[in-house]
Amino acid sequence: MKNFPTEKKSQLQNWRILHSPLQKKSPVQQAAPRQAKQTLRIASNTPQEFFLFCLHAYAYCNSPFGPYPQHFAETHQYPGHGHQRKMGYDTVVKNRPQPLASAGFSLVELSIVLVIVSALLTMLVSGMLNVARNSAESATRSSQGAIRDTLIGYLRANGRLPCPDIGPDGAAGISSATLPDGLENRSVAGNATSPCSSGAGVLPYATLGLTQEAALDGWGNYFTYVVSNNTALVAPPRDWTISTAFRSGSVGAIEVINDANVAIQAAVLIISHGATAAGAFTVKGTQGDTSIAGANEQANYSGCPVDAGSGLARCFSRDLTDNAAAAGGRFDDIVMAVSADTLKNPLFTQGVRLPPAADWQKQCADLRDQLIANGLANRVGITPLVSYGIAPAATINAKLIDPYSANPHSCVIPVGSQIVATSTGTLCAATSMGVDGAVGGGDDLVCTITAAELRSVFAKTGF
């Protein structure tokens, strides 16, 4: 470096050590933050000197070929020496682009890059997992909605709901060796008046006329189906699986406890055991790992054990949590609780069934019509001594079906009962328990047929 002042040589050397990728650096230098552009002021007196500097600085300069070095002139004050004017060229240098092979990263740089990349990956992976989970969850909810609608159709057509499928018909239950066949299981196979083998099991998709796929949740495992089949509680009726037991006033035998610890009554549950599939039955006939299930999940795959207090089958529907220490343990089930009204109301609005009060009144009116028809058919005598035999040959033991109870109420008209012009009193009285399922309480429904009522009809024919 001919004509290159020693002072500048050393300044240059320092700069090279700091910025050249080929130079060995001290740990302190390595840790120094790398800057894309460094400004180094070299008081070069000529452009040639400046260019020479650039070559040795292993750096791009504002070279004589490109943006020119900026001339600077400063006045410095040196104590005792007065003012001195210093002139030269400002050199703006930046690191040379380095060949990839030699492009080194300091440990700090590398770790920053790694942190950023891993953060991005984490975001990406968790985003993908969220998308997958959301999509499986929405597929699950949509399937549950379709199953609920199918159950309403089945109830409309059959006056009852199917029993759960607990394995091939005739087998004791689902095990790894026995795949569910999608057909309901009853104590007497194929006999719809016999009780369910179990109140909980796999959704009986074939009995419902659904495909196997429709019985699978968003994670490809069978939905658990829990149906009210409680015959121990007679009023209100809670067995939905036998047509003679199902009533317009039937209520659910299941309660679902939510996060607020509120019990919601349901007639049917359609349960997905979530991403973990703890306790779920798989298409292979195996059961998902039960050892990872929380206490509430356990209840959900164990057929909702009956709660001693309420006497109802109890299951749980809570927000998703991975926290095993949360009340009820970890939980990722997606539970659709279908209420009695959700199942029955479409039947009422479509006129397939009468709502309870109208149902009771219709039974009462039908009995009244029967007595009138009997009387007219067995009319004896002529005006004014006509008698109408409403039970001339046998006792009429009319069974009025209480929509709010499993028990019928009899209305007995003894043999030989007649209506004459002077007949008074009540011929028949029956009382439904009402929505509370108990006698009294101000909600009972009464059916009363009086002699005066019948006389007023008969009068039109000749009293």
Query: Using CB under 5 A as the criterion, which residues of the chain lie in contact with Ca ion when the complex forms?
Result: 165, 169, 181, 183, 185, 433-434, 436, 438, 441, 443-444
| Closer Cβ to Ca ion, 401 or 438, answer by number | 438
CB of 202 to Ca ion, least distance (A): 8
CB of 181 to Ca ion, least distance (A): 5
Q: What is the DSSP letter of 188?
A: S
Assess contact for 71 and 90: CB atoms under 8 A: yes
| Closer Cβ to Ca ion, 259 or 443, answer by number | 443
Q: Is the dihedral of CA 260, 261, 266, 271 positive or negative?
A: positive
d(CA 405, CA 283): 40
CB of 229 to Ca ion, least distance (A): 15
| Closer Cβ to Ca ion, 53 or 404, answer by number | 404
| Closer Cβ to Ca ion, 185 or 272, answer by number | 185
CB of 146 to Ca ion, least distance (A): 21
CB of 436 to Ca ion, least distance (A): 4
- Residues in a beta bridge with 200: 226
Amino acid at 37: K
Classify residue 213 as left (phi > 0), alpha (psi -120 to 50) or beta: alpha
Residue 449 φ/ψ, nearest 5 degrees: -120, 120
Q: Which string of b and e fits 254-291 if b means at least 16 CB within 10 Å?
A: bbbbeeeeeeebbbbbbbbbbbbbbbbbbeebbbbeee
CB of 430 to Ca ion, least distance (A): 14
For the record, the structure tokens of 384 come out as 């004014």
Which residue number has the CB closest to Ca ion? 434
CB of 201 to Ca ion, least distance (A): 8
| Closer Cβ to Ca ion, 253 or 433, answer by number | 433
| Closer Cβ to Ca ion, 119 or 358, answer by number | 358
Pick from 359, 454, 344: nearest CA to 400: 359
3-state SS, 28-39, equals HHHHCCCCCEEE
| Closer Cβ to Ca ion, 169 or 307, answer by number | 169
Q: Is 132 in a helix, a strand, or coil?
A: helix
